[in-house]
Amino acid sequence: MSAQYTVTATPQAEENGAVELAVASLPVSFGPASEASATAGDAAQISAIDGAAGWTTEAIKAIDGGASGIVVVNPVPESTAALLDAAEASGVAIILDQRWASNPGLAGAEDPVRSVAGRAAMLDSVATAAAGSDPERLLTEHLAAVVRVTGQLDALQVLRRGTHGYTVSGRLANGAPVSLQGVLSNSRPAGVDFRLYTDDGGVSIAVPEPLAAWPAEVRATGPQGEILLPTLYESAHRATWRRLKEHLDAGTLPSDLTAFARLTESIAHLY
């Protein structure tokens, strides 16, 4: 039986990442750091921090403080180079808990998407968030989820952005048009809708909010019909913590920061 890791979370991380709930759903793997250990000055093994601006600096502080694993909730784009160096030097696992990209259903979507990408005719994706949300943050979360299954997109360009959302154009590797639309409304379920069309079907993905264990729905459509991939009733938050445990047990370092560096670069080119 592997060890249980102790966890602390900043208030912002707790609020945005439902850390307590996620940890409570993995009670063998994780547990809250006790008051006694905190009083004794023992650092918790895992730190959960919020991904607001400056999160890479906070993460480096957590590494310096002795953390063996770090969860970053909803990180905003910023340079991860120094953090990556620090994590590799100290062997600290850093996992990103991204609003939609961390949904466990997306792992299963990668194969169906990539197997038809060469025949893609159009990718149309719409992300929805509550009215009043920050559209730039929405775009980051949206793009993170899309490139998780498509890989890098070419020729990304913001066509418009404003208080009601955005439209971004791009191209898939085969030249097919990509459209990413953000919609801010309280009357459309928050989430990402992803539709990749080919000459004879395609792949559709509906990614829900991580507030509950709603499953992503991944459907592959072809001449023989449509397959709904097995649904995974696990929130993005819990999947993040489970993935961290797997890396900790195996002694491996996740590639989250490297992928996020590419995302940051893409976002930087957009503005």
Partner 1 sequence: MSSHSPATPLGSLQPLGVGILGAGPVTQAIHLPSLARLRNILEVRHIMDVDAAVAESVAARVGAKHSTSMDALLGDPDVDIVAICSPHQFHADQVIAACRARKKAVLCEKPFAMSGEEAARISAVSAETGVPIIVGAMHTFDPGWLAAEANWGDLPETAHTIRSSIVLPPNARFEDFATEIITRPASGTPDYRDVEVVKNALRGGIMGLAIHDLPLVRRFTPDFEDLEVLQARHVRPFGYVISLRAGERIIELRAAMNKTWKPEWTFEAISDDSALRVDFTPSYVQAGSAVATITRGTTSTTYGPYEHNGYEGEWRELAQLALGTKQPPAAESLINDLTFAIAIADATVDVAAAEYANSHAGAHS
Site residues (CB under 8 A) for partner 1? 121-122, 124, 126, 131, 159-160, 164-165, 167, 169, 176-177, 179, 181, 183-188, 197-202, 221, 223, 226
Shortest CB 208 distance to partner 1, Å: 14
Shortest CB 67 distance to partner 1, Å: 39
Instruction: Choose between 202 and 210: whose C-beta lies nearer to partner 1.
Output: 202
Smallest Cα–Cα separation from 171: which of 123, 114, 106, 112? 123
Instruction: Choose between 88 and 226: whose C-beta lies nearer to partner 1.
Output: 226
DSSP 8-state secondary structure symbol assigned to residue 189: -
Note whether 84 and 261 are within 8 A (CB).
yes
Smallest Cα–Cα separation from 109: which of 18, 12, 198, 232? 232
- Give the side-chain half-sphere CA count within 13 A for 212: 2
Shortest CB 261 distance to partner 1, Å: 26
Instruction: Choose between 17 and 165: whose C-beta lies nearer to partner 1.
Output: 165
DSSP 8-state secondary structure symbol assigned to residue 199: S
Shortest CB 25 distance to partner 1, Å: 25
CB-based contacts of 155: which residues, under 8 Å, 6+ apart? Answer: 169, 170, 171
Instruction: Choose between 79 and 152: whose C-beta lies nearer to partner 1.
Output: 152
Phi, psi of 96, deg, nearest 5: -100, 130
Shortest CB 230 distance to partner 1, Å: 21
- Tokens linked to 88: 């590799």
Shortest CB 198 distance to partner 1, Å: 7
**Cα separation, 150 vs 50, whole angstroms:** 27
Residue type (1 letter), 182: G
Instruction: Choose between 51 and 135: whose C-beta lies nearer to partner 1.
Output: 135
Instruction: Choose between 35 and 199: whose C-beta lies nearer to partner 1.
Output: 199
